[in-house]
Amino acid sequence: MKYFLYWGCSLEASGANYLKSLKPVCKKLGIEFEEIEDWNCCGASVSYVGAKDFTIKVLNARNLALAEKTASYDIVAPCSSCYVQMNRANHEIQENESIRNLINNILAKAGLEYNGTLRVRHIQDILFNDVGIKRIRDAVIKPLNGLKVAGYVGCQSVRPYGEYDSVERPKVQDKIIEALGAEPVKFPKKMQCCGSGIFFPEMELCLGLVKDILEDAISHGAKIISTICPMCAMNLEMYQTRINKIYGTHIEIPVVYLTQLIAVAFGMDLKKEAVLHMNFIPPEYVMKHIR
């Protein structure tokens, strides 16, 4: 199984623990990755303020063209924003001939062309549909017995297309959590947005969103939260102290990437492969507790 991996800007910085845990986990599952040569930013969730939607599509078309030039693999985007922006541009180019022509005229300025032959997919889609739950379960060496995990889905990894999971009642992440031997908890705010790209400029309002999500997960029994998006991870994990200060709450719950949980269950090195030391709220004690 070979794919392009379009990891995007966040996974080189605040989401570094996502990329670092994703690579060994995928390798173990027989997935090979190739980087898109000289990729650019996808525009993420705040670029709409500074440009028309058309310009954002061109941003993504460049990456698609660079990939198509090299091979015909599906493109895997672990970041939800990268996934949604690239997927949106791809659909538009595939389905709308006049947009395709307009975009290709612009790509031609950089000697590029995109014919719409590729597919853009989220990493959860690959794990669930291409690898499959059985193979993930078979690779588990140290099952996370009894660990109560809130699998937080958020927004853009399933909305708007719902190509591999329901847009209202997603199950994929919970099934992967189950395959690791852990127990996915049900919590109503699983799909409520954390503030995403406008979290920083509208922090006061978005802290309220995050507080509601965290309290919901905790009150439904979760001991740890897993995410599949660098913005969700950052927003849910980084601001817990600030929330406690403002709201007088006592929230403290580790937030890890799903790939970090998988790495632990696969018996990988907690430091080198699961990179748990990169998380702000140490998740190790929760993990040790279950062993």
Question: Cβ contacts of residue 229 below 8 Å, gap of 6+?
Answer: 79, 80, 81, 154, 156, 157
Between residues 48 and 247, which has the closer beta carbon with respect to other proteins? 48
Is residue 261 within 8 A of residue 149, CB to CB? The reply is yes
How far apart are the C-alpha atoms of 119 and 86, rounded to whole Å? 10
Binding residue for other proteins (CB under 8 A) from 3, 26, 31, 45? 45
Choose the binding region for other proteins from 71-79, 189-197, 214-222, 259-267 (rule: CB under 8 A): 189-197
Nearer to other proteins, 41 or 133 (CB): 41
Cα distance between residue 35 and residue 46, in whole Å: 25
Rounded CA separation 218/186 (Å): 11
For residues 230 and 200, give the distance between their C-alpha atoms in angstroms, rounded to a whole number: 14
Stretch that binds other proteins, among 15-23, 71-79, 124-132, 249-257 (CB under 8 A): 15-23
Tell me the β-bridge partners of 33: 3
| Minimum distance, C-beta of residue 92 to other proteins, in the bound complex (Å) | 11
User: How far, in Å, CA of 193 to CA of 213, rounded?
Assistant: 9
Binding other proteins (rule: CB under 8 A), the pick from 109, 134, 250, 288 is 109
Binding mask 119-148 for other proteins (x = CB under 8 A): ------------------------------
Interface contacts to other proteins, rule CB under 8 A: 9-10, 12-17, 38, 40-41, 43-55, 58-59, 62, 81, 84, 102, 105-107, 109-111, 154-156, 159-160, 162, 167-168, 191-202, 205-206, 209, 238, 277-280
